[in-house]
Amino acid sequence: MRIIKCYGKKLLNRELKKCYNFFIQEANTDKNSKGFGLIKDKTAIAKDIASIASVGYGLAALVIGVKHNWISYKKAYKRADLTLETFINNVEGQNGFYYHFVNMKNGKREWNCEISIIDTAIFICGAITAGEYFGGNIKEKAEILYKKINWDWYRNKNNNLFYMGFTPEKGFWGSWDMYAEQLMLYVLGVSSPTYPIDTSMYYEFKRKKTDYKKIKDIIYTYCGTLFTYQFSHAWIDFRNTKDLDGIDWFENSIKATKANKEYCIDNSKKFKTYGENSWGLTSCVAPKGYVALGAKPCEIQLDIDNDGTIPPCGAIGSIVFTPQDSIKAMEYYYNQIPKLWGKYGFKDSYNLEGEKIWVAKEYIGIDKGIELIMIENYLNGTVWKYFMRNKYVKEGLNKLNIKRKAIDNKEITI
C-alpha cells in the first residue's frame, strides 16, 4: 500500500508522466507491422484493439514527451512519422474518415464498429499538433490526411447537420443536433482546402440553456457527461473568445464543470462515493460495464446509469476550467483511495457503494488522453500552442467568427 502522500504540482507531474507512459507502452512499435503506431483502446478488455482517438492523443503525447525530455526528438519524430504512414497506407476507412476501432496489427475494422467522424477528428487534431511541432515529413503527412477528409460526405443535406455515425451495413444515422464535443468538426471542416463545409453548419445545432442552482445559462449537452465539455477544448484554445452570438465556450465549460461538482455534492447522501472532492461524472467503466455517467443539466434520466461510480478523468480533464477544484480531487483520489493508483497513474474509475471498494482494472486511451493534454495545457499550454499555430485551424476559427474578445473595442484575430 502506498504510504507517501502527494500533493499539488508534484502529483500533477506524476500523473502526467504516467499518462504519457500509457501512450508509449501500449502502442504497436513493430516496424514491420502494418499497424505500427496504433494504440490500445483499453488495456484489459480489448487486448489487440486500437482506438483511432487513442492514436490522436498518442501523437500529442510524443510532443509532450520531447518537451519534458522523456523521449528524444529523433525517436519521437520517427515514431510520429511512421504512425502517420500507417494511416496513409493501412488503416481502414472511407472518404478520409476511419473506423472507430481497428486491429492493432493490421489497421482493419473491429467489432463491426462505425466509421467515426468525431474519433477521426481527434486523431487528425493529434496529427496536426505533431505536424506543427515536428514539421518536415510529419507536417506534410498530417496535411495529406487532413485533405483526404470529405466533411461534406458526413453532412445530412436535409438538415445541414453532421450525422452521428455510419456503417456500410446501416448507412448514416443520428445527428449532432445539440452542443457536445463536436466543435472541432466545424473548425476543421470549414477550412478544408479540398472538401469544405459551409459556416452555417456551426450555427445550425441547438444551444439549449438552463441553470443549475446559482450557475446561470449553461449551454448543456444531452447526457451531461463532462467529456463533452472537454474534448474540443483539449486542442482549441477557446480562452477569452466569443462567436457572433456572444458565446464564450470556455466560460461555458467552466460553468458546466462547476455544475457537475455541485450535482455530486447534492447527491452525496444518495451515493457515498460522491462528495466535495469526489466528483466529475463522465463516460467510463463502471461495475456494470461501460456507461455514460452524467450530471444536471442534461436531457436524460440520470438514474439509468449513475450508480455512484467516479472516474478521475472527469475532474482531471477539467483542470483548465476549475484548477483548484480539480487538483483537490486529484489529491483526494491519490491519498484516500490507494487502490486507484497503478501502472499508468489513476485507473479508470472507482465505486464505494458496495461492501468493498470497487476499482476498475482498466485504463482507457481517451480517458488517459484527456488527462494528459489538459494537465499539460494547464501547466505549460503546449498542445494549445502548437495546434493553434496551424493555418487551417486559424482560418477555421476566423471563418466561424470565433474571435478574441474585444480590447478597447477592437476584436483580435486568432
Render each residue's pLDDT in the chain as its tens digit; 414 residues. 556 899 999 999 999 999 999 999 999 999 999 999 999 999 877 789 999 999 999 999 999 999 999 999 999 999 999 999 999 999 999 999 999 999 999 999 999 999 999 999 999 999 999 999 999 999 999 999 999 999 999 999 999 999 999 999 999 999 999 999 999 999 999 999 999 999 999 999 999 999 999 999 999 999 999 999 999 999 999 999 999 999 999 999 999 999 999 999 999 999 999 999 999 999 999 999 999 999 999 999 998 899 999 999 999 999 999 999 999 999 999 999 999 999 999 999 999 999 999 999 999 999 999 999 999 999 999 999 999 999 999 999 999 999 997 654 555 556
Q: With beta carbons less than 8 A apart as the criterion, state whether 317 and 230 touch.
A: yes
Buried-state track 205-214, b at ≥16 Cβ within 10 A, e below 16: beeeeeebee
**DSSP string covering 300-363:** S-GGGT-SSEE-HHHHHTTTTTSHHHHHHHHHHHHHH-GGGEETTEE-S-EE-SSSS-EE----
The conformation of residue 198, written as its DSSP 8-state character, comes to P
Query: Residue 110: its pLDDT value, please?
Result: 96
Neighbouring residues of 317: CB distance < 8 A, sequence distance ≥ 6:
226, 227, 230, 234, 280, 282, 367, 370, 371, 374
Coil, helix or strand at residue 255: helix
Whole-model pTM over 0.95: yes
Burial of 9 (0-12, 13-18, 19+ CB in 10 A): exposed
Query: Residue 77: its pLDDT value, please?
Result: 98
The residue to which cell 499508468 is assigned: 344
Cis peptide before 312 (omega within 30 of 0): no
Q: With beta carbons less than 8 A apart as the criterion, state whether 156 and 175 touch.
A: yes
**DSSP string covering 87-103:** HHHT--EETTEEESEEE
Query: Residue 142: its pLDDT value, please?
Result: 98
Q: With beta carbons less than 8 A apart as the criterion, state whether 100 and 116 touch.
A: yes
Question: Domains in the chain, ordered, with CATH?
Answer: 8-403 (1.50.10.140)
Q: With beta carbons less than 8 A apart as the criterion, state whether 196 and 246 touch.
A: no
The conformation of residue 178, written as its DSSP 8-state character, comes to B
